[in-house]
Amino acid sequence: MAGWRLTLRDALGLGLVAGSIAAAPPAPRPAPPPSLTETHDGSALDLHPRADGSLEHVDRKAHFTGIIRPDGRAQLEDRPAIEPLVDDPRRVAQFLRDLGDAIARPGGPDPPSPPADPHTPDPYDPRGRLDAATDRSPPGAGSLGPAPIMLGVGVRMGGLADMLLRRGQRRHTKAKQAFLEQTAPMRDQMARDHEQRRQRTAMLQLGRELSTVWRDPARSAAERRRALFLLWDDCEELARDEGDDGRREGGEQMRRRIEAFIRRVAPPGSDDAFDPLELSRLNRSRHSRQRFDPYAAPRADPLELAPTPVEDPERDRSSHPQ
């Protein structure tokens, strides 16, 4: 049987082929972290609840705290300046790291100089300079004058500091803008939920207030009617182009409820009903764009308003027979 020789080239070729066959498939890339808006409980953004019901996010790199109020409003607060303690030599390294962060922090004051050793004279104090008359140096000084204080230097570095500050401002502004943009959907939902809760509470309070006003024995019938009109006129009124559908609908529901209450307790033709002259006078004093007319049929869309004509008492009197 003829001999078979394995050359170095063949061995290398076989090794490469075997290695390619035995190589494990590459591990799948990890999924990206969830977006800050995928959850409304704040977990994706590292938001922490506070005692007042708001959520808090602390960004230590950008030196700001983001607060989201229960009604969806956002508030950004710059974190306080760093105050390193460098009186202990073991903290020198930490002080230098914090010093670099302070230079890049926009708008923040320079970190205070480390406390000086009370036993080391100040080289800038005239009382501590070399006394030429007696040829005596202050304690701790050599032939070249006082020993330098290594950490007794400021952080004013001219163009370098300005460049770092500008860079820090851009970075921190981007971080704040990212916080606002990525929490916008969550804050919008929080604002809608808050408005719904507010409207439910206001509707319950309105029912009690209407009953209290109408049953007040200290007021005359005219005063009670005017109080009902003022409640109607104070309801929120927004046009379609003003955006907030929830607030607009809530204000309209409260107006319709007040009008329904008036028709029930002071129907047309009754002794307590609004007189046409009274309605005309009240409409001249109103702040709302809508006209106050509780006895008219409800509008299909009360916010599609036409210019209010000048009220004619005789026409109003004929439109509401006594």
Same-domain check for residues 107 and 178: yes
Q: Is residue 85 part of a domain?
A: yes
* Per-residue model confidence (pLDDT) at position 322: 41
DSSP 86: -
CA trace torsion 77, 78, 82, 83 (10° rounding) = -60
Q: Is residue 290 part of a domain?
A: yes
Indicate if the pLDDT at residue 293 is higher than 60. yes
Indicate if the pLDDT at residue 86 is higher than 60. no
Q: Is residue 257 part of a domain?
A: yes
DSSP 307: P
Question: Greater confidence, 167 or 277?
Answer: 277
Structural domain count, the chain: 2
Q: Is residue 220 part of a domain?
A: yes
Same-domain check for residues 284 and 165: no
* Per-residue model confidence (pLDDT) at position 35: 39
Put residue 166 in one of left, alpha, beta given phi > 0 → left and psi -120 to 50 → alpha. Answer: alpha
Share of the chain above pLDDT 90, in %: 21
* Per-residue model confidence (pLDDT) at position 280: 94
Same-domain check for residues 168 and 273: no
Confidence of residue 5 (pLDDT cuts 50, 70, 90): low
Indicate if the pLDDT at residue 80 is higher than 80. no
Q: Is residue 266 part of a domain?
A: yes
Confidence of residue 314 (pLDDT cuts 50, 70, 90): very low
Q: Is residue 207 part of a domain?
A: no
Same-domain check for residues 171 and 222: no
- Interval 152-165: pLDDT, tens: 333 444 454 455 45
Same-domain check for residues 269 and 175: no
Distance CA 188, CA 40 (A): 11
Same-domain check for residues 107 and 47: yes
Question: Greater confidence, 10 or 19?
Answer: 10
* Per-residue model confidence (pLDDT) at position 90: 56
pLDDT, mean over the chain: 68
* Per-residue model confidence (pLDDT) at position 161: 46
Same-domain check for residues 172 and 50: yes
Q: Which pTM value belongs to this model?
A: 0.45
* Per-residue model confidence (pLDDT) at position 115: 53
Q: Would you say 268 and 320 are in contact if contact means Cβ atoms under 8 Å apart?
A: yes
Same-domain check for residues 172 and 270: no
Q: Is residue 307 part of a domain?
A: no
Confidence of residue 63 (pLDDT cuts 50, 70, 90): confident
* Per-residue model confidence (pLDDT) at position 248: 75
Same-domain check for residues 179 and 221: no
Same-domain check for residues 168 and 279: no
Q: What b/e sequence results for 169-201 when a residue is b if at least 16 CB atoms lie within 10 Å of its CB, and e otherwise?
A: eeebeebbeebeeebeebbeebbeebbeeebee
Residue 243 is part of which domain span? 216-299
Tokens of 178: 């990212």
- Interval 98-126: pLDDT, tens: 767 766 665 555 555 555 555 555 544 44
Same-domain check for residues 175 and 47: yes
* Per-residue model confidence (pLDDT) at position 237: 75
Same-domain check for residues 49 and 175: yes
* Per-residue model confidence (pLDDT) at position 143: 46
Q: Is residue 204 part of a domain?
A: no
